[in-house]
Structure 1
Amino acid sequence: MVPENLLKQINFIKEIDKVKYIQRKTKLFNSDRNENDAEHSWHLAMMALILTEHSNESVDILKVIKMVLIHDIVEIDAGDTFIYDTQKSHSNTDEERLAANRIFGLLPSGQAQELIAIWEEFEAGITSEAKFARSMDRLEPLLQNTSNDGGTWKEFDVDYEKVYQKKSLIKEGSNTIWDFSEQLINESVEKGILKKKS
């Protein structure tokens, strides 16, 4: 007899395979291939692990890794919203809340409640873990776009002001990484791969 909890967990594991099919606007480093959500989440987990020492505050790194691994699972139902989308808000939506309840709800109730709480904590962005996790989420596409001659900035006509405003959230998690990011943004303007409003 297979335990009921195991069946629920396997069902969840099968469901989240769909994350691999969700295409992001950003492309892999030095590439013209779009990244998918699973690749993005894995990369953020590795970044968090490697860059923890630069967090503004001491963090529970396991919790940060959980956050970045699960933060985009809701996009299975809600879809990916481009951070510079002018039609749809990138902030937490009712669609994402319904998705979190449905997808994490496939798990045994204790695990479901834990993952929903971690997802909510990431979205709220208040704890030191959430701030650091969100800084990783903003850093990765910055690194991708600078490696791709402007990448999505050029493709979608995103200007310096929008990039600076969205990326400045990095400083909430790490002043050190923000200083580095700000330098990258300014260098991108100097290189002509990111344009200021005329």
Structure 2
Amino acid sequence: MHTDNLLKQIDFIKEIDKLKYIQRKTKLFNSDRHENDAEHSWHLAMMAIILAEHSDKQIDILKVLKMVLIHDIVEIDAGDTFIYDTSKNHVNTEEERIAAKRIFGLLPVEQAKEFIAIWEEFEEGSTDEAKFAKTMDRFEPLLQNVSNNGGTWTEFDVPYEKVYDKKKAIKEGSELIWNYAENLINESVDKGVLKKELTNYKRNE
């Protein structure tokens, strides 16, 4: 039985190496190179450890780490969906659920159940751990885009309103980190990096 479990776990380990080939739209800090999903997941894990003290609620940091390390594994099959994509909604899709069952299903049964449950908890985003994990997931690319003079915001002409709408989820896990992030967003507007839609200018007059 133990040998059988080991072989399944090694198959899973080999399979998730493919995550290193999944390219994201965001680029590394102060760089022209696109980040891959494995780098993104590692960075979120480090951020979670370092910034855990700023969570608004007491959290199980080990569960948060599991969430951020496995949350994008489904993209091996489903691919990365750009958060500002206008043709495909950046939400949990049936395609991702099928991917979760296939990839995590390579593991021994109990581990597979645990990983699928953790992935689903992250996607649902209702627990304190999931909220903080999502705070990390939204915060990292914001920092990257600011370091790259707008990054994907500028490249894909994403307006302030869409950025603000997507990034406000940061507040669910940490008021302090959200205040910092909100200031960065507003500074990007002041610098002309983020544009406000004309309709909103009229509405605010």
Please tell me the TM-score bracket, short chain as reference.
over 0.9
Q: Could you give the per-residue CA deviations for residues 53-88 of structure 1, whole angstroms, max 9, x where no partner exists?
A: 110100000000000000000000000000000000
Distance in 1 between residues matched to 2:7 and 2:30, nearest whole Å:
41
| Matched letter for residue 196 of structure 1 | K
1:136 aligns with: 136
Aligned equivalents of 1:30, 1:77: Cα separation in 2: 29
- Matched with 1:147 is 147
Tell me the secondary structure at the aligned position of residue 168 of structure 1. Answer: helix
1:116 and 1:2, CA in 2 relative to 1: closer, same or farther beyond 3 A? closer
Aligned residue number for residue 66 of structure 1: 66
**Equivalent residue number for residue 19 of structure 2:** 19
* TM norm structure 1: 0.99
- How many percent identity over aligned positions? 77
Letter in 2 for 1:106: L
Distance, in Å, in 1 between the alignment partners of 2:122 and 2:45 is 14
Offset at residue 174 of structure 1 (A): 0.5
Residue in 2 that maps onto 1:42:
42
Corresponding residue of 2:108: 108
* Secondary structure of 1:137 counterpart: helix
1:118-133 to 2 correspondences below 5 Å: 118-133=118-133
Q: How far is 1:163 from its partner?
A: 0.2
> Which consecutive aligned stretches of 4+ in structure 1 deviate over 3 angstroms post-superposition?
none
Q: Cα distance, 1:193 vs. partner?
A: 1.0
CA distance in 2, matches of 1:195, 1:32: 22
Q: Which structure 2 residues correspond to residues 77-92 of structure 1 after superposition, within 5 A?
A: 77-92=77-92
Cα RMSD between the aligned structures? 1.0
Offset of 1:2 from its aligned partner? Answer: 7.7
Q: Deviations over 1:110-151 (max 9, x none)?
A: 000000000000000000000000000000000000000000
SS of the residue 1:35 aligns to: strand
State the one-letter code of the partner of 1:110: E
TM-score normalised over the length of structure 2: 0.95
Measured in 2, the distance between the counterparts of 1:42 and 1:173 equals 19
2-structure distance, mates of 1:156, 1:95: 25
1:174 correspondence with 2:183: no
Q: Deviations over 1:17-69 (max 9, x none)?
A: 00000000000000000000000000000000000011010000000000000
Cα separation, 2, equivalents of 1:183 and 1:154: 18
Q: What is the CA–CA distance in structure 2 between the aligned matches of 1:30 and 1:172, rounded to whole Å?
A: 28
Question: Which segments of 5 or more consecutive residues in structure 2 lack a partner in the other structure?
Answer: 199-205
How far apart are residue 192 of structure 1 and its match? Answer: 1.1
Count of residue pairs the alignment pairs up: 198
Which residue pairs with 1:191 in the alignment?
191
SS of 2:25's partner is: strand
AA of the residue aligned to 1:143? L
